[in-house]
Amino acid sequence: MPSPSSLFSAFASITASIMFFQSMLNQILPKQVYDYLISILQNLFKAHARTLTFVFNENNEFGFPNEVYDAAGVYLDAIRGPNNKRLNVSKTPDEKGLIFRLESEETVTDLYEGIQLHWTFVCLKREENSFRNSNISDSSSSEKRSYELSFHNQHESKVSNSYIPFLLDRAKAISDEKRVLKMHTLSNSSYDGINWQSVNLHHPATFETVAMDQNKKDDIINDLNRFVKRKEFYKKVGRAWKRGYLLYGPPGTGKSSLVAAMANYLKFDIYDLQLASIKRDSELRRLLLATGNRSILVIEDIDCSIDLPERLRGDEEEKSDHQNDKDSALTLSGLLNFIDGLWSSCGDERIIIITTNHKERLDPTLLRPGRMDMHIYMGYCTFEALKQLASNYLEISGDHHLYGEIQSLLGETEVSPAQVAEEFLKYENADSALEEFVKFLKKRKMESGECE
């Protein structure tokens, strides 16, 4: 039997020979050929192990982003562990925090319903000729990036039909939590005409802070929840996946705050459509087609933003409309066609909100179900809404000895939530603020009586 020293010498000789041949191959063979041979050996081992690998490239052959690739990056960042030693860290102005991604050849193991799955991030340099002929024009196009998912081939059906949909849903939920909402407004460019321009939306309004009766809040929240969960239902009944809300009532009653609360609740971007900036139906159609899914399109104060031809009004106004038609081709029918016509199907999970101070001035065709599905009256401040405002501005969580008198005065005086908030902002002390607010209500009551 060979001695331990002779076995060690033989092992060292074999190791040195392997390293020598590997070094020779690196020097003799071009890198592409060397990588190709290595990939063949890896595939042979994988075939022997009955392993199947799905490859998710960053872009498809036409240069469009691969949804599964993007979802994998988000999902793997959430499940990576201490075994991952190299991470790519970045941050953009639009992101709330740091973005972590795996570096090339880093692997993450996942377990799904008893199936072991191995993810590997692969980043390869493109060949120069391939790069020149590529249709992809982004700054990273010199690299070919992909995620490889390896698993036992007997689980192919479950991975395709169950795990990947789970991955997409989970990544969407994670992204929604980190998403920075956008407010899109119209910007006029001398080169491209009028287009959307976006800024970050940091409006703090939520359903917890909006001054509104709780029953009305609950009705709105339930309607929104029902809407976002019924994609298949809308498809089954042949309707576009959209929902229309009309917010109407006096100025200062919280219509804009409610829009912001809805956006924050759903994690939807807002598109603020100013009709006065649009001249033609074709321009309106182009702008509306450029809005994204999971968004809220808002048309504020529609009754005074622009005189739309075809509105039902008096004889004198109809005469002025005739002249308006010559100067502007933006029509009510053009707007209605996108809200409820064939163009309404160009997009999913859309909410359309129209606000007005005078519901009676709007054309009845704009208000029917299917266009404005839910009409929400935003009225003067109620006692329940006042308590919410007192909690927001004065940090009063319970009862107050002046609440009884305030409740009685609110029943006899019309005051908007905006007016209440303005009064509360004048004082830092809660007791002083409510005492002065009682005086404010009594003065309003007296002025109202004198006007009568």
The more confidently predicted of residues 179 and 427 is: 427
Query: How does residue 366 score in pLDDT terms, banded at 50, 70 and 90?
Result: confident
Residue with tokens 């982003």: 65
Q: Which two tokens stand for residue 145?
A: 């990036």
Rounded mean pLDDT of 165-174?
91
What is the spatial distance between Cα 116 and Cα 93, in angstroms, rounded to a whole number?
Answer: 37
Rounded mean pLDDT of 356-375?
88
Rounded mean pLDDT of 329-346?
71
Query: How does residue 319 score in pLDDT terms, banded at 50, 70 and 90?
Result: very low
413 touches 383 (CB < 8 A): no
Query: How does residue 89 score in pLDDT terms, banded at 50, 70 and 90?
Result: confident
Cα–Cα distances in angstroms (integers) from residue 205 to residues 83, 226, 392, in the given order: 41, 21, 11
Task: Provide the pLDDT for residue 42.
Answer: 63
Rounded mean pLDDT of 126-140?
48
Task: Provide the pLDDT for residue 106.
Answer: 85
182 touches 198 (CB < 8 A): yes
CA 30 to chain centre: 47
Task: Provide the pLDDT for residue 53.
Answer: 92
Third-level CATH fold of 182-309+328-377: Rossmann fold (3.40.50)
Task: Kindly list the domain boundaries of the chain, sorted by start residue.
Answer: 51-125+143-178, 182-309+328-377, 383-450
Query: How does residue 10 score in pLDDT terms, banded at 50, 70 and 90?
Result: low
CA 189 to chain centre: 26
Global pTM?
0.66
Residue with tokens 């982004």: 138
Task: Provide the pLDDT for residue 344.
Answer: 62
- The pairing of strands 193-200 and 182-189 is antiparallel
The more confidently predicted of residues 309 and 222 is: 222
Task: Provide the pLDDT for residue 14.
Answer: 72
Task: Provide the pLDDT for residue 31.
Answer: 65
The more confidently predicted of residues 385 and 142 is: 385
The more confidently predicted of residues 195 and 46 is: 195
b (16+ CB within 10 A) / e for 33-55: eeeeeeeeeeeeeeeeeeeeebe
Q: What is the pLDDT of residues 268-315, one digit of tens each?
A: 999 999 888 888 888 888 888 888 888 999 998 887 765 665 543 444
Task: Provide the pLDDT for residue 291.
Answer: 86
Cβ burial, residue 350 (10 Å; 0-12/13-18/19+)? buried
**Residue among 73, 151, 68 at smallest CA distance from 116:** 151
Residue with tokens 């927001």: 392
423 touches 440 (CB < 8 A): yes
Task: Provide the pLDDT for residue 405.
Answer: 94
Sequence-separated (6 or more) residues with CB below 8 Å from residue 200: 94, 180, 181, 182, 183
Q: Is the pLDDT of residue 175 over 70?
A: yes
Q: Is the pLDDT of residue 139 over 60?
A: no
What is the full DSSP assignment across 407-428?
Answer: HHHHTT----HHHHHHHHHT-S
Sequence-separated (6 or more) residues with CB below 8 Å from residue 412: 445
What is the full DSSP assignment across 35-59?
Answer: HHHHHHHHHHHHHHTTEEEEEEESB
Q: Which of 26-40, 184-198, 316-330, 367-381 has the lowest average pLDDT?
A: 316-330
Task: Provide the pLDDT for residue 135.
Answer: 46
Q: Which two tokens stand for residue 201?
A: 């939306």
Q: What is the pLDDT of residues 61-88, one digit of tens each?
A: 777 788 899 899 889 888 887 777 777 7
298 touches 271 (CB < 8 A): yes
Task: Provide the pLDDT for residue 380.
Answer: 93
Cα–Cα distances in angstroms (integers) from residue 87 to residues 55, 105, 116, 141, in the given order: 20, 11, 23, 20
Task: Provide the pLDDT for residue 34.
Answer: 65
Backbone dihedral angles phi then psi of residue 72, each to the nearest 5 degrees: -60, -40
Task: Provide the pLDDT for residue 136.
Answer: 42
Task: Provide the pLDDT for residue 296.
Answer: 94
The more confidently predicted of residues 36 and 274 is: 274
Cα four-point dihedral sign 431, 432, 433, 435: positive
Q: Is the pLDDT of residue 95 over 90?
A: no
Rounded mean pLDDT of 167-183?
86
Q: Which of 145-159, 198-212, 331-345, 358-372 has the lowest average pLDDT?
A: 331-345
**Mean pLDDT across the chain, nearest whole number?**
81
Task: Provide the pLDDT for residue 24.
Answer: 67
What is the spatial distance between Cα 255 and Cα 247, in angstroms, rounded to a whole number?
Answer: 6
Helices (H), 98-213: 128-133, 156-158, 164-178
CA angle 247, 253, 256 (to 5 degrees): 60
